[in-house]
Amino acid sequence: MTNEEAQGGPPAPGGDPDDPRWMALALDEARSALAADEVPIGALVVRDGVVLGRGRNRCRALKDPTAHAELEALRAAFLATGDMRLPGATVYTTVEPCFMCAGALSHARVARVVWAVRDPKFGGAASLGAVLTDPRLNHRAAVAEGVGADEARALLQGFFRAKRALGSRRPSDATASEEGAAER
């Protein structure tokens, strides 16, 4: 593994040179989710070089389908700032936000969203929709993808392969993409 890969890979084209460093921290959150037997997705909210919130998937632990990494990170950032808006913030997430998370990111008025891999089964930012960049909406965020993609993909593939090997595949797992996270 090169130093660049260890830091989350190169920045996305036109991205911030710190993107790999922040994505590496989001990947740490994804590894924490994996250790807790959750779909390995992690997220981070950063503004002015300061981490305002961290999150990882906790849907299974909380028995809450809204406990996605992005929402967990946003909630932490709202508590840290005392505000429901995060202008100037960048959110780093290891998987493309779903429609619910993309909507929340838009409502939070984040400036930018960076993700590692697309979610072809439920991605609401590029794969199946463009919630963050749709010109019809009153707020849009800049987006970038691909930072830390190899590691994020490996975490997801490893998680779903292990589930299948254990025979714990539920009906909802059958449609989950190894490159995405439709079954968060």
**Which active-site residues does the annotation give?**
70
* Residue among 9, 3, 4 at smallest CA distance from 114: 9
* Number of helices (H), then strands (E), in the chain: 6, 5
- Quick one: tokens of 173? 């797992």
94 contacts 117 by C-beta, under 8 angstroms: yes
Structure tokens at 183: 């079954």
Q: How far apart are CA 183 and CA 139, in angstroms?
A: 28
The two tokens of residue 76 are 């932490």
Residues facing residue 47 across a β-bridge: 50
Rounded CA-CA distance 124/40 in Å is 18
